């Protein structure tokens, strides 16, 4: 008979690898004496505990992840030389992070918010990151206003509470963001019932460059194969109260069951010359491109088929940036994109450190030889000499630096420098696009959601200005909103949710 053994195959140890003698009790001077500083196990445990949380992302803090694949399905070589889109390339592995945008890391996932989907494609030419949201337009067109819109949508720094007044104040003073605000107040987009049934939009304008060096401007989209759907505000609050992790659990369980979520990755394309017409319409992320004029072209199928093994190690440490592109994909004069090229990697340098791209979830599969040395948490051996040119056996660039490669991101810069806004009278009317959106998504409780939102705004001037702005879209919409707003303000029981009635009752009870 085999002798039983008490030897552990996976003994508990300190972070230095030494066996942990007693993980439960401190080393003290007798049963009731003080704890001794020489209890290195205690010190190791406490020091790590106080540092174990990563700083949350300033936006997209609340997120969940999944591994997946991209399979090309169409010959698009006339548009781009990117090898991952070649039909004979085969699958490309990817990691995806689904998230909220403005809500905090510990909030319910079903709160009214925009949703983000960031994808990291591990290609043989390096990592390509594609950042999308479930709304087809952004709220600002220039990166200088980017931090402002986040500040307007986040919690009030004075009270620490949500302030609907700043949201509407920002909207009426930045009309280009009205379309996004309307979409956010539609149940389909603001309170989705699943990550799996959402379409996703890059919104920014990128470029494709083919093997001959010809450039075209593009917009990228992910189209779900499921019927789209959203929760009402009341349903979202009930689900969030019962299960604040509802959306991530829905994603994880669908993958566990083998019901792998799928999307078609598509793009719209515009010629390089046409992009410079209409005063910058092509590069304005607050406007969408008409699908009739610029039809969707399929690139391939994205399938999520594997759950992460460790949320903190993978989902929280993954870092995305639109600056991560591969040959055949480039940028554009899109002003919001230009700012995002800087701020996305910069925030990760702050959050994860200078060598964050060496964290396994961020590491490219092509084992790049980078000309960088030093820095904390470095995991890769440095290449030296880390400069070019050199007479030593050092690193060499892919192309002759003295010749402009067709993969270059260079584009037209002909006008005098200055501070410019996109020409507001060029391209399709912003308000026409909003009217089209409202017609396309009926039965999404838009009027009721607007009225409930405005009822929380205490500044009468902001409410009036908001209604004036909405009247540019549709008089009938404003009339319905005003009727509902009046009912809410009068405490009409038929218009209040159960939660709103409870809050009013609690607020009316005298506090002892």
Residue spans of the domains in the chain: they are 63-362, 430-492
**491-495: average pLDDT:** 81
State phi, psi for 414 to the nearest 5 degrees: -120, -20
pLDDT, tens only, 374-411: 888 777 777 778 888 888 887 777 766 555 444 555 67
Weakest mean pLDDT among 57-61, 204-208, 492-496: 492-496
**pLDDT for residue 370 is more than 90:** no
Residue 406: per-residue pLDDT: 47
Contact 17, 11 (CB under 8 A): no
In this prediction, what percent of the chain has a pLDDT beyond 90? 71
Would the pTM of this model clear 0.75, i.e. be above it?
A: yes
Report how far residue 210's alpha carbon sits from residue 222's, in angstroms, rounded to the nearest whole number. 22
Distance CA 133, CA 236 (A): 19
Which one is predicted more confidently, 315 or 429?
315
Report d(CA 157, CA 89) in Å as an integer. Answer: 50
CA angle 132, 188, 149 (to 5 degrees): 50
pLDDT in tens, 182-218: 999 999 999 999 999 999 999 999 999 999 999 999 9
In this model, does residue 148 exceed pLDDT 70? yes
**Which CATH architecture is the domain 63-362 placed in?**
Beta Barrel (2.40)
Q: How confident is the model at residue 408, as a pLDDT?
A: 56
Q: Average model confidence (pLDDT) for the chain?
A: 90
Q: What local confidence, expressed as pLDDT, does residue 359 receive?
A: 93
Whether 280 has a pLDDT exceeding 50, the answer reads: yes
Render pLDDT for 445-465 as a digit per residue (tens, 0 to 9).
Answer: 999 999 999 999 999 999 999
| 109-113, 123-127, 288-292, 369-373: least confidently modelled range | 369-373
C-alpha distances (whole Å) from 203 to each of 219, 341, 366, 421 are 7, 14, 29, 18
Percent of the chain's residues with pLDDT above 70: 94
Q: DSSP secondary structure string, 238-282? A: HHHHH-TTHHHHHHHHHHHTT---EEEEEEEEEEHHHHTSGGGGG
* pLDDT range class, residue 95, cuts 50, 70, 90: very high
Q: Dihedrals φ, ψ of 250, to 5°? A: -60, -45
Mean pLDDT across 318-345: 95
């Amino acid at each position: 008979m085999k002798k039983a053994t008490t030897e552990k195959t996976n003994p508990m140890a300190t972070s230095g690898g030494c066996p942990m003698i007693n993980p439960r009790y401190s080393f003290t001077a007798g049963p009731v004496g003080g704890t001794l500083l020489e209890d290195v196990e205690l010190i190791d445990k406490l020091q790590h505990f106080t540092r174990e949380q990563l700083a949350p992302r300033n936006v997209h803090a609340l997120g969940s992840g999944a591994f997946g694949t991209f399979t090309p399905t169409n010959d698009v070589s006339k548009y781009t030389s990117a090898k991952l889109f070649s039909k004979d390339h085969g699958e490309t592995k990817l990691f995806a992070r689904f998230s909220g945008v403005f809500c905090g890391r510990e909030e319910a996932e079903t709160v009214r918010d925009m949703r983000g989907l960031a994808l990291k494609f591990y290609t043989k030419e390096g990592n390509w990151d594609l950042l999308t949201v479930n709304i087809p337009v952004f709220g600002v067109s220039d990166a200088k206003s980017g931090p402002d819109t986040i500040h307007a949508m986040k919690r009030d720094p004075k009270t620490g509470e949500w302030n609907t007044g700043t949201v509407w104040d920002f909207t009426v003073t930045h009309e280009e963001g009205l379309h996004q605000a309307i979409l956010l107040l539609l149940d389909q987009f603001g309170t989705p019932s699943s990550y799996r049934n959402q379409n996703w939009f890059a919104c920014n304008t990128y470029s494709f460059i083919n093997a001959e060096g010809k450039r075209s401007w593009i917009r990228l989209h992910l189209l779900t194969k499921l019927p789209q759907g959203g929760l009402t505000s009341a349903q979202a609050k009930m689900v969030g109260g019962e299960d604040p992790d509802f959306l991530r659990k829905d994603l994880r369980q669908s993958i566990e069951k083998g019901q792998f979520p799928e999307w078609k990755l598509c793009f719209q394309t515009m010629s390089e010359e046409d992009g410079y017409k209409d005063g910058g319409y092509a590069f304005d992320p607050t406007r969408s491109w008409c699908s009739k004029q610029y039809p969707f072209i399929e690139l391939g199928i994205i399938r999520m088929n594997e759950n992460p093994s460790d949320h903190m190690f993978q989902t929280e440490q993954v870092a995305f940036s639109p600056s991560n592109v591969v040959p055949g994909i480039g940028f554009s004069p899109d002003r919001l994109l230009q700012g995002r090229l800087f701020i996305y990697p910069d925030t990760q340098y702050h959050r994860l450190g200078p060598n964050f791209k060496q964290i396994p979830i961020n590491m490219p599969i092509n084992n790049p030889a980078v000309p960088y040395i030093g820095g904390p948490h470095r995991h890769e051996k440095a290449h030296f000499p880390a400069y070019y040119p050199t007479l030593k056996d050092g690193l060499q660039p892919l192309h002759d630096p003295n010749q402009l490669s067709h993969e270059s991101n260079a584009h037209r810069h002909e006008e005098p420098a200055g501070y410019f806004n996109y020409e507001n009278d060029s391209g399709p009317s912003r308000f026409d696009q909003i009217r089209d959106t409202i017609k396309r998504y009926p039965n999404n409780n838009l009027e009721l959601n607007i009225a409930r939102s405005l009822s929380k705004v205490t500044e009468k001037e902001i409410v009036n200005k908001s209604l004036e702005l909405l009247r540019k879209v549709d008089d009938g919409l404003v009339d319905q909103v005003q009727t509902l707003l009046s009912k809410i303000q009068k405490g009409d029981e038929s218009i209040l949710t159960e939660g709103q009635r409870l809050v009013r009752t609690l607020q009316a009870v005298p506090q002892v």
